[in-house]
Chain A
């Protein structure tokens, strides 16, 4: 079974802090994704990566960056956290660009 692990379930950060959200998958998947999930807005794609060192902007990349130094690890970075980045963040992976997504259990981030 594919396992996508997000290092933190809950995080509380202050406005202006630099925040790192970590995601690791254990199935040697090429493709990894970061979404945020907000009530009434559903899942929105922030960034994705089809290969190590490669990254592509999703639908809402502003205020975020990503890092993929190793195939199994995909990090989301909030350069300067703001209150409107309070959300549930979900990491996902897939074996090919067309395969269904496997999600982690999410990190609920609160920025105060």
Chain B
């Protein structure tokens, strides 16, 4: 079993929809959680960075962490075609050291007109 599980998709939604992207994990030591967005033929770019449980909002994006369920989510409100990309979750333990980051395999999102 992988430490981090992420549905590969593709997830196809109409423009304006609310999108929910999710990751589950098995390592209870994870404390820092990230979401990266990766456009086709580009490198991943950091979208959200959260510590421990709770919600964090940034514009149309909300990151949610539920440590008791070992479950993290990224919500995108009013989705746009420009949100079409692969979304990677990543997480790391209490040291937060980047060399210990564990990535999900990514969910491909397509927002249609």
Contact = CB atoms under 8 A, between A and B. Distances in A.
Bound pair: A and B? yes
Interface of A: 4, 9, 31, 33, 39-43, 45, 48, 56, 58, 90, 92, 94, 97-106
B contact patch SS: loop
B43 interface: yes
B101 A97 contact: no
Most chain B beta-carbon neighbours within 10 Å: one of A40, A43, A90, A105: A43
27 contacts: A4-B43, A31-B98, A33-B98, A33-B99, A40-B8, A41-B105, A42-B4, A42-B103, A42-B105, A43-B44, A48-B99, A56-B99, A58-B99, A92-B98, A97-B96, A97-B97, A97-B98, A98-B97, A100-B46, A100-B49, A101-B44, A101-B98, A103-B43, A103-B45, A104-B43, A105-B41, A106-B42
Given A31-B98, A40-B8, A43-B88, A100 B105 contact: no
A42 B99 contact: no
Interface of B: 4, 8, 34, 36, 41-46, 49, 88, 95-99, 101, 103-106
